[in-house]
Structure 1
Amino acid sequence: MGIAQSPPPKTLPLSADEGGKKRKSYETLNRRRRWHGSGKEMEPLLLSDAEEIAALYRELSQFPSLSSACIGPEVTTQYGGKYCNIYTEWSQRDLERAENVKFCRQYLIFHDSQSIVYSSPSGNCTEIKGELLSRDSPSGAQKAVLRKTSNSKGEEKQFLEVWEKNRKVKSIELTALEKHGQVYEDDQFGCLAWSHSETHLLYVAEKKRPKAESFFKPKPPEMNSEDEQVKAERQDKAIKGEQYVFYEDWGETLVAKSTPVLCVLDIESNNVSVLEGVPEHISPGQAFWTPGDTGVLFTGWWHEPFRLGLRHCTNRRSALFHVDLTGGRCELLSDDTRAIWSPRLSPDQCRIVYLENKASGPHQQCSRLCMYDWYTKLTSVIVEIVPRPGKDEFTGIYCTALPELCWAADSQRVVLDTAQRSHQELIVVDTLSGSVCSLTKGSHLGSWALLTIDRDLLVARFSTPNCPPKLMVAFLPPAGKESEVGWVCLEEASPVEGITWGVRKLQPPPEQDNLQYAGLDFESILLRPTQVPESGKYPLVVSPHGGPHSVYTTSWTLYPAALCRMGFAVLLVNYRGSLGFGQDSVDSLPGNVGSQDVKDVQFCVEQVLQEEPLDPQRVTLLGGSHGGFLSCHLIGQYPGTYKACVARNPVVNMASMVASTDIPDWCLTEAGLLYDQAALPDPRHWTEMLLHSPMQYVDKVQTPVLLMIGDEDKRVPPKQGLEYYHALKARGVPTRMLWYPGNNHALSGVEAEADGFMNIALWFLQHLK
């Protein structure tokens, strides 16, 4: 399937004030840079002063990220013109408050249903406080908000609010009702869905647990009163000896989320009910109403015999289910031997599309796009898995989630974003023909993400490695004319001065080819300071991604941009096994981790050192998770290449990790072994996992290593870092470890992220002198 090209986006010019502010900001940064030389040839020096580095980080960290968008109802003016409101949510790091601040901004769009006539921001930004979830009703007349508050004692409460026009018409304290536990607000299970009649709200919460008390708690004195309070206490009697029962959760980022239940709020009566009929071995989520509001559709994940981590794992056994509200009957609608997620109902309420993977193997893979017809009860595969794409052809779907609104108004086409090699593109899929067309290929080098589509108005995010996110809008052209899409920029972001970048394609040498999957290639993204050195060469930071089945795309990322502005070149490596290059590439890596991926990174480094003005005596490594696994492998297998290494929550010993991680299947699968939840430990498997791990090369390590560890990491347990730390210290290798309380695998807390960057920069500077 070929991909059509589209023209470059139209951009709206910056106002004089906005342009002046941007220029002033970058002039300030440039004054902080130190230069030497004369004339046109000036050689940039690495920023080495901690205060200057902190000022640079502060400047770049203030660029906000665009997280979601919602399109309001269409309004027709008295003159026949049409306009609508676009509501957007952003987040920004606040270093002083040590938190991510969420805020909203709205825009007015005047249009003729085919193109945008005029657009403008509507007022300034407003910070959002306490909102966990929010959804507009189908008509746009009402808005539901799930809000978290804390009282003077620090006790958290959750409220479900309904807003209408300029007032709040409902505020229900869900915590006080005690019908269920905490409401799920995550993007794995969470939902807040209006019924089509706008009379009920559907959401997911933790199942109410029985009250428990000690066997030795004294009995309360006998009471003669038979008032309502006493009756209630008798009905909710505590169970003795149950207070220490273990409840297994769904792992990384889903801590304390164990048994979700589907809940419905009747807006008129304020009554909350927990839906019955969901099988006990199933955890429901991603729910929405059936046509006619007679039932609920949801994704159900198997949690027997025990739960495996779900975050970034689209290979967990799951299926599409339907609960009939009239009879309480639960019906299976999809294959129950696979993994499915992100079911989305078409505007005409006839069809449901969803993504599907194998329920085994790599955690992320090339996915199918499937469709279930509500009336014929037939399931069809719309887009198949792509084993190996041809040159410039569609490479397949690699998606962690479909946008909540992804259908075109014709209820025939679906729009989504997906990695295509090292770019993220928007594609439109015709569900009748299965044809795939790109809405963004050739428009601008960079990466796109779809935020929403409503009445064929597309709202998207666009960024590049040297340009923070822009807010883009366009109308989806009629079927067959998608390549004529014309993008308009609503919120401009100027490129960061001093950074240039490009994508490099690499073919492994014949001796490193995978005979089972011969001929695969891979790519890297190289960021470089724009100023060409007069005599010297740039120091290089090499960064392989985690996963390993993930991908670096040509999008804005804070750490690489900040390192490049410091004066480093940064090499982001998409080794074989990365997403976006076909399923064969994904399948080529299991059983070859620690070898194929390591050789790909090293080959990429050697090539770029030959072809670019880079200093081979000043090469460093930066990686997290599987990227940390590769960094530790590289300093052991190629000890003379790298002068410093930073590993963030790295995997160092798969054999010791397998019994303590939320993803034990990962350790076996990536080592080329089959995973069985009921299997007993096998010494041969432990040996195989150890042989694929960086720990076997620790005796050869000479490179100074900085370890960054999150103490609440359930994916790569903190003891992995401790194990490597002790092994390096015992061998006299310069080693330092930073331990971040309250941080999980991503180390994404604002304070930990900022401190982490400073320590990375200073560690590299210290060991490159």
Structure 2
Amino acid sequence: MEAGQISGTYGELSGFSVPVSGEVREKKLLEVCIYTVTTGWTQVDLVRGSRLHYTQDWTLISDANDHRSFRNILPSGPPTPVSAELLSRRSPVGHLRAVVRETGGHQLLEIWDPHGLRKCLDLTSLSKHGRVYDEAQFGCLSWSDCENKVLYVAEKAKERSSDPVSTTIFTDRNVYREDWGEALTNQSVPVICVVDLRSGTLSVLEGVPSDVSAGQALWAPGGQSLYFVGWYHEPFRLGLKFCSNRRSALFRLDLNGNCERLSEDNVSVSCPRLCPDGSTIIYLQGAVFGPHSQCLSLQQMDLKRMKTSTLIEVVDRPQTGEFAGVYEALASCCWSEDGQRVVFSSACRNYRDVFVVDRRSKKVSSISDKSVRVYGGWKLLTIHRDLMVVCCSSPNTPPTLVRQHTLLETDMSEPVKSYDFHWTSLDVVPSPEEDNSAYSGLDFGAVLVKPTTSLTEAKIPVVVFIHGWSYVRRLGPLEKTTTKKQIQYFSLFVSSVNYRGSTGFGQDSILSLIGQIGSQDVKDVQRAVLTALQTDPALDPKRLAVIGGSHGGFLTCHLLGQYPDFYRAGASRNPVINAATLLGTSDIMDWRYTSVGLQFSYDQIPSAVALTTMLQRSPITHAAQIKAPVLLMLGAKDRRVSPHQGLELYKALKSRGSDVRVLWFPDDGHSLSRVDTQADCFLSTVLWLQQHL
């Protein structure tokens, strides 16, 4: 294909919409009950070079006395565009909606009722705080049950001197201000803000401990106190994005400034969710430090007796076919109607499934239909009166909506298109010499995608995709990433490897990679590729390429150097190249120690032994052996893996006359997520593989 044709294909793939949120409202009319399911969607617009947001409604009709039996599902109406909304939340009764909107450089709080705009506050002009946070980490928008108050989280206002001749304002603006790292560079000191809708007053709450950054807040019943998660930021902040291993706790704060910690000390906490009657709060809990993405436990706290118990334990080593643990954030609405069950999405080996845990028996069961694996990825968007709205997808099917109730499912929206690919899940067993003696007997997996019919009689080339450490690319990833589009595009065999250390295989698998990076994970990827080649004679062992980002880019470069005669080409996005030189520039310096098996402490000074160990585990030590052409894609604003890591490999390869190309994105970070960046990466990667395979 020519570049123009490839761009056209990319335009088709990038145009698919992805459901990202959902809410359900109900209304009883005589003998029927009408449910309105409103879903939020995002879609890439290449003309604008931005992401569009819109909502779409479905109407479900059931008998008034039997809301489990639906008479009909009416077709959805046309999408409603959503403009400049930062946060949006419907009130408990459902007649009001709060929206934080950005317009003209100002942030507004709008309250809408069935007749239109009821109230609007210019939060920026009030000057009580800085910018309001979105829901990426700290942000929230919560209604009190009386619907008279709304709370949210914003950046603390900068202090200014009241003395007109003071020079403090000029000197303070140059003082270094810590932030929370990659993708959170403008978030430093969050504060909880409350708007009283009756008086129109805005208050910044006092009482949060000075060593804690507050976020993910929600009202307690009665509206006189609230719960929040506090992340400890002393002695200094470490990167928080994609890191569930930061010391944090669950707190309760009343409007008079009285604050108390409710959870254990020296753990990580996230996603507090109140049950429907307000008697119990659940939250996720994990270990501090170690791998930044781990298996988590689900805790429940009886708020009357103030007693905490574990609802779901950390799963060390799941048995075949069993629940593998909790690895993902809880949906904002995740409780059953009776408050006795919690529904959540989580990784399970090569799949993502929806699970329910019964609080009485503590039994976890899967809701996803495994008898027919039409979809590989299931994600809960919301639940209301046991009506679950679920997003489903697979490598050959764009995301679609499914309505699920009492283990029965109905498609609410037909997939826009399905591609002529065959996909399957592969279980891989390491060879005896590759087994980890400390965690013996672990296996891992891979996702295999192949065109149903070959375009030619020749054998099919193979592209190996490698995910980063902080997440796993499963069947049907919901993220609208370049990788997903590439899988849908390539007329070749794709192997996405979930090496030991990937989420979804138990905590033992994650811990097994500590101290083994650059060795165990490299061998796992190679073992998966060899297994695929042995099981499918249609694959071409002489035309293989490898692609990955972050830790996946680290493995990409390792494979090119450790197996120089095996791969024909490589493409790497923001790769770790030299862990020793990365130590002082990464926002997660703790991981640089942990990954190579060393203990981390805040007051640690790098030693020669530590730096040597990091260097020995790095791809730069194999750079001289790399023969394959290498494409490097680097984000200049990357706080997690400095773009100079990629440049270090670029210089090493250039000095030897190797074929290497760098794409430099001055306005992008670690995820390379801008619309124009993704388009450039896609086109460049396809052309790179077309040239060298």
| Matches for 1:122-271 after TM superposition, within 5 Å | 122-150=76-104, 156-211=105-160, 239=169, 241-271=171-201
Matches within 5 A, 1:226-625: 239=169, 241-325=171-255, 327-399=256-328, 401-442=329-370, 444-445=372-373, 446-475=376-405, 477=406, 485-532=407-454, 535-547=457-469, 550-555=472-477, 559-612=483-536, 613-625=538-550
Residue 396 of structure 1 aligns to a residue in which SS?
coil
Deviations 1:711-750 (A, max 9, x none): 1111111111111111111121111100112111111111
8 Å contact from structure 1 (residues 620, 644) kept in 2: yes
Shift of 1:570: 1.0
Partner of 1:140, secondary structure, is coil
CA contact (8 A) 1:501 1:527 kept: yes
Q: Name the aligned partner's letter for residue 89 of structure 1.
A: G
Question: Which stretches in structure 1 are left out of the alignment for 5+ residues?
Answer: 1-47, 151-155, 221-236, 478-484
Contact conserved, 1:91 with 1:101, CA < 8 A, in 2?
yes
Tell me the secondary structure at the aligned position of residue 241 of structure 1: helix
Per the alignment, residue 62 of structure 1 pairs with 15
Q: Could you report, residue by residue, the CA deviation over 1:91-129 in whole angstroms, capped at 9, with x for unpaired residues?
A: 111111101111111111112311322112342012111
Measured in 2, the distance between the counterparts of 1:441 and 1:539 equals: 33
Structure-2 residue corresponding to 1:703: 628
Separation in 2 of the partners of 1:196 and 1:508?
54
CA-CA distance at 1:566 after TM superposition: 3.5
- Show the counterpart of 1:223: none
Task: Tell me, in whole angstroms, the C-alpha distance in 1 between the residues paired with 2:318 and 2:252.
Answer: 36
Matched, 1:645 2:599: no
Tell me if the contact between 1:564 and 1:570 (Cα under 8 Å) persists in the aligned partners.
no
| Secondary structure of the structure 2 residue equivalent to 1:123 | coil
Counterpart of 1:27 in structure 2 is: none
1:88 aligns with 2:88: no
CA deviations on 1:234-282 (whole Å, 9 max, x unpaired) are: xxx9645212111111011111100000000011111100101100000
The 2-side partners of 1:534 and 1:182 are apart by 56
Question: How far did 1:548 drift?
Answer: 5.5
Q: How far apart in 1 are the matches of 2:648 and 2:477?
A: 34
State which drifts further: 490-499 or 424-433: 490-499
- CA shift digits 1:193-232 (9 cap, x unpaired): 000110000000000111369x9xx959xxxxxxxxxxxx
- Displacement after TM superposition at 1:606 (Å): 1.4
Equivalent residue letter for 1:438 = S
Contact 1:103 1:125 in 2 (8 A): yes
- Structure-1 separation of matches of 2:371 and 2:333: 23
Secondary structure of the residue aligned to 2:357 is: strand
Native 8 Å contact 1:552 1:573 kept in 2 = no
The alpha carbon displacement at 1:555 in A equals 3.5
Deviation at 1:567, TM superposition (A): 1.4
**1:684 aligned to 2:684?**
no
Hey, what's the Cα distance between the residues in 1 that align with 2:678 and 2:638? 15
Cα offsets for 1:432-466 (capped at 9, x unmatched): 22111111141542110000111211111011110
**Larger gyration radius, structure 1 or structure 2:** 1
Change (3 A) 1:506 1:311: same
Deviates more, 1:486-495 or 1:710-719: 486-495
How many aligned residue pairs are there?
685
Contact 1:82 1:110 in 2 (8 A): yes
Find the aligned partners of 2:397 and 2:446 in 1 and give their Cα distance.
18
Q: Is the 8 A contact 1:539 1:614 kept in 2?
A: yes
Deviation at 1:535, TM superposition (A): 3.1
Aligned equivalent of 1:119? 73
Moved more, 603-612 or 204-213: 204-213
TM-score (norm 2): 0.97
Q: Secondary structure at the match of 1:52?
A: helix
Task: Tell me, in whole angstroms, the C-alpha distance in 1 between the residues paired with 2:155 and 2:526.
Answer: 47
The 2-side partners of 1:487 and 1:458 are apart by 9
* Whole-angstrom distance in 2 between the partners of 1:664 and 1:684: 16
Q: Distance in 2 between matches of 1:428 and 1:100?
A: 33
Query: What's the CA shift for 1:77?
Result: 1.7
> What's the counterpart of residue 752 of structure 1?
677
Instruction: Structure 2 unaligned segments of length 5 or more: list them.
Output: none
Tell me if the contact between 1:563 and 1:761 (Cα under 8 Å) persists in the aligned partners.
no
Per the normalisation by structure 1, the TM-score is 0.87
C-alpha distance in structure 2 between counterparts of 1:424 and 1:688, whole Å? 35
C-alpha distance in structure 2 between counterparts of 1:382 and 1:563, whole Å: 38
Structure number with greater CO (CA < 8 Å, separation at least 6) is 1
Q: Which residue of 2 aligns with 1:662?
A: 587
* SS of alignment partner, residue 66 of structure 1: strand
Note if contact 2:14-2:485 (Cα within 8 Å) is conserved in structure 1.
Answer: no
Q: 1:494 to 1:122 in 2, by over 3 A?
A: closer
Measured in 1, the distance between the counterparts of 2:681 and 2:471 equals 24
Q: Provide the residue aligned with 1:43 in structure 2.
A: none
Q: Helix, strand or coil for the counterpart of 2:78? A: strand
CA distance in 2, matches of 1:561, 1:257: 31
Task: Measure the CA separation in 1 of the matches of 2:6 and 2:201.
Answer: 55
Which letter maps to 2:148? Answer: T
1:396 offset after TM fit, Å?
1.1
Shift in Å, 1:187: 2.6
Task: Specify the alignment match of 1:636 in structure 2.
Answer: 561
Q: Find the counterpart in structure 2 of residue 717 from structure 1.
A: 642
- Whether the 8 Å contact between 1:501 and 1:528 is mirrored in structure 2 is yes
2:352, 2:474 within 8 Å by CA — same for their partners in 1? no
1:60 deviates by 1.3
